[in-house]
């Protein structure tokens, strides 16, 4: 019923606006934004907001850039007001003055976006707007303040307390499942039939949804309920794999996690999702003993190729360099002898890459950063875990298990956060060369 009402109100809103505009031509974006922030916006907010959302939708690329430029330039905080508030704070450093100063520092864009959100489909429009803004950012650093405001707002709106965790299965609407097909980037699917296997009795798929975007998964995780900590991905996603009995499983393997909406980049949801899913699985299957991921190492091959290209790099022994030359040979992973020779050296280098190659004190590998930051432990490196073209391309077929041990998460997270130390199993430790100093 709700949806119906919104639509009708939308229509009504449109009529109101049309009436309002009377004979003058279509409002310019500038005047629309101005009106929406003025007392007119208070009186007929939803109607103006709707008009702005529609106007945005129909913008050309060029118009969109102008619109963002306008937001950056004309809707920044007012320096005069800030300075006055600073002065008032100096005179009387009371909570009230702090609040006034904070408000002076808040950009009018903030309020503009809040009012825009009252349009039917407003939240969706704003998430979309940020997606497009992010695409411009590399070339338009001047738009960063606009993005900062959007990130701020969206972080507040997508507070995990407002999200709903939903289990997806084969009874879900086809139109929804289609989106999972599209958003799955880690281990791609060709058709809904592939997805069906991933929703069978020994698999689970959970997604976060926000009430304002009821048909849009925000992030989802795919889990396999199996025996033992899985070391290869192909058996898990093979559409023809026999379906096991989830009741007899002792391990839950998180084999794919995907963020869906580019417009929510940087709004952290994955941390929460994993922990809720662990809690939910623990309740449904009390016999589960292991919660672990089977994760890609997306940056490994790029790093290794770079290291190989740098003749001064000392991490790779000269003997290993020779061996590694085999990696340039297509199909090396199907040559038993080569595979045998490469296993040791690649696993060792991967351990080094994950544990010791850092940027700003954090692991260079983004997937490692995510799970270690969540309090997981780097548990195992799996040789030929993913022999798909993508797996060979990005990590020479290696996959990694990060283990989520409920009793250790908090300790691991604190250690990692405070010292940057990567918590690893003794098996991984065994792969690392002794470190000087």
Q: Which DSSP symbol is given to 295?
A: B
Asked about 371 being catalytic, the answer comes back as yes
CB proximity list for 64: less than 8 A, separation 6 or greater: 56, 132
| Of 28, 30, 31, 99, the one binding its own copies by CB under 8 A | 99
414-436 as b/e: b if 16+ CB within 10 A: ebbeeeeebbbeeebeebeeeee
Q: Which DSSP symbol is given to 258?
A: E
Which residue carries 């794919």 as its tokens?
A: 256
> DSSP E strands: which ranges in 269-417?
290-293, 358-359, 362-363, 377-382, 399-403
The yes or no reply on residue 34 touching its own copies (CB under 8 A) is no
Least distance to its own copies from the beta carbon of 64, Å?
A: 20
Q: Binding mask 268-287 vs its own copies (x if CB under 8 A, - otherwise)? A: ---xx--xx-xxx-xx----
d(CA 299, CA 309): 16
The yes or no reply on residue 157 touching its own copies (CB under 8 A) is yes
Least distance to its own copies from the beta carbon of 282, Å?
A: 6
Q: Within 10 Å of residue 261's Cβ, how many Cβ atoms?
A: 22
- Chain positions 403 to 422 lying near its own copies, rule: CB under 8 A, are 406-407, 409-410, 412-414, 417-418
Least distance to its own copies from the beta carbon of 248, Å?
A: 21
d(CA 290, CA 229): 7
Q: Within 10 Å of residue 216's Cβ, how many Cβ atoms?
A: 18
- Chain positions 316 to 375 lying near its own copies, rule: CB under 8 A, are 374-375
| Of 108, 145, 239, 298, the one binding its own copies by CB under 8 A | 145
User: Stretches 59-67, 130-138, 143-151, 221-229: which one binds its own copies (CB under 8 A)?
Assistant: 143-151
Contact 229, 252 (CB under 8 A): no
Least distance to its own copies from the beta carbon of 55, Å?
A: 17
Q: Judged by CB, which is closer to its own copies: 234, or 271?
A: 271
Least distance to its own copies from the beta carbon of 194, Å?
A: 11
Contact 25, 38 (CB under 8 A): no
Spot the catalytic one: 256, 295, 301, 395: 295
Asked about 210 being catalytic, the answer comes back as no
- Chain positions 182 to 241 lying near its own copies, rule: CB under 8 A, are 191-193, 196, 211-212
Q: How many CA atoms lie within 13 A of 258 on its CB side?
A: 22
- Chain positions 50 to 79 lying near its own copies, rule: CB under 8 A, are 72, 76-77, 79
Least distance to its own copies from the beta carbon of 141, Å?
A: 11
The yes or no reply on residue 31 touching its own copies (CB under 8 A) is no
- Catalytically active residues are 295, 371
């Amino acid at each position: 019923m709700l949806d119906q009402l919104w639509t009708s109100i939308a229509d009504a809103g449109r009529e109101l606006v049309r009436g309002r505009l009377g004979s003058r031509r279509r409002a310019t974006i500038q005047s629309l934004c101005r009106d929406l922030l003025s007392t007119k916006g208070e009186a007929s907010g939803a109607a103006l907001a709707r008009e702005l959302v529609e106007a945005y939708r129909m913008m050309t690329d060029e118009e969109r850039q102008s619109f963002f430029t306008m937001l950056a330039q004309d809707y920044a905080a007012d320096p005069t007001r800030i300075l006055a508030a600073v002065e008032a704070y100096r005179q009387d450093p009371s909570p009230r003055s702090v609040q006034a100063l904070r408000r002076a520092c808040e950009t009018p864009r903030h309020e503009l976006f809040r009012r825009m959100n009252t349009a039917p489909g407003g939240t969706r429009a704003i998430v979309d707007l940020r997606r497009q803004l992010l695409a411009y950012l590399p070339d338009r650093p001047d738009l960063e303040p606009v993005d900062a405001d959007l990130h701020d707002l969206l972080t507040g709106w997508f507070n995990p307390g407002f999200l709903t965790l939903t289990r997806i299965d084969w009874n879900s609407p086809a139109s929804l499942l289609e989106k999972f097909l599209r958003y799955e980037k880690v281990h791609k699917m060709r058709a809904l039939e592939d997805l069906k296997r991933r929703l069978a009795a020994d698999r689970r798929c959970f997604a976060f949804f926000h009430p304002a975007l009821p048909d849009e998964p925000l992030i989802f995780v795919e889990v396999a309920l199996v025996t033992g900590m899985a070391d290869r991905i192909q058996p898990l996603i093979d559409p023809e794999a026999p379906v096991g009995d989830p009741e007899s499983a002792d391990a839950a393997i998180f084999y794919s996690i995907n963020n869906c909406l580019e417009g929510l980049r940087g709004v952290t949801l994955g941390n929460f999702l994993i922990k809720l899913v662990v809690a939910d699985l623990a309740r449904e299957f009390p016999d589960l003993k292991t919660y672990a991921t089977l994760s890609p190492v997306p940056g490994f091959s790029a790093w290794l190729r770079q290291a190989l290209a740098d003749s001064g790099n000392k991490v790779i022994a000269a003997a290993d360099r020779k061996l590694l030359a085999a990696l340039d040979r297509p199909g090396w992973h199907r040559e038993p002898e080569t595979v045998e020779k490469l296993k040791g050296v690649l696993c060792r280098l991967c351990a080094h890459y994950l544990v010791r190659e850092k940027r700003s004190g954090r692991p260079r590998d983004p997937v490692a950063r995510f799970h270690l930051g969540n309090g997981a432990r780097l548990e195992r490196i799996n040789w030929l875990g993913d022999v798909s073209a993508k797996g060979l391309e990005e990590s020479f077929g290696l996959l990694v298990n990060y283990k989520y041990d409920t009793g250790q998460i908090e300790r691991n997270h604190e250690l990692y956060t405070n010292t940057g130390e990567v918590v690893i199993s003794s098996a991984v430790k065994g792969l690392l060369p002794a470190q000087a100093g």
